């Protein structure tokens, strides 16, 4: 996790590699699902990148370690 941001496309690709399906349309945000776990995917913005602090929060909520994320 050395980079300061990650693209939305790469974020979704990595979550699919971890067994998540989606993204699906939700209320304000799209989401991805794996069993009972549901993670919200940030909306695409002008630069379409997700800051590292938001990525860390998403990973924390999903219960994914930094090592697990970096190994994908």
Domain with residue 13: its CATH number is 3.30.920.30
Question: Model-level pTM?
Answer: 0.84
Q: Which range has the top average pLDDT, 31-35, 39-43, 44-48?
A: 31-35
pLDDT on residue 46: 62
Structure-derived torsion over alpha carbons of residues 24, 25, 31, 35, reported in degrees to the nearest 10:
-50
Nearest to residue 2, comparing CAs of 72, 66, 49?
Answer: 66
Q: Which residues pair with 24 in a beta bridge?
A: 31
User: Number of folded domains in the chain?
Assistant: 1
Q: Work out the mean pLDDT of the chain and round it to a whole number.
A: 88
- The pairing of strands 30-34 and 37-41 is antiparallel
* Domain around 61: 5-70
CA distance 20 to 35: 8
């Amino acid at each position: 996790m050395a980079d300061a941001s990650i693209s939305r496309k790469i974020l979704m690709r990595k979550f699919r590699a971890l067994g998540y399906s989606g993204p699906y349309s939700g209320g304000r945000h799209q989401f991805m699902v794996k069993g009972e776990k549901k993670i919200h995917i940030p909306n695409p913005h002008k630069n379409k990148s997700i800051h590292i602090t938001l990525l860390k929060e998403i990973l924390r909520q999903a219960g994914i370690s930094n090592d697990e994320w970096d190994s994908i």
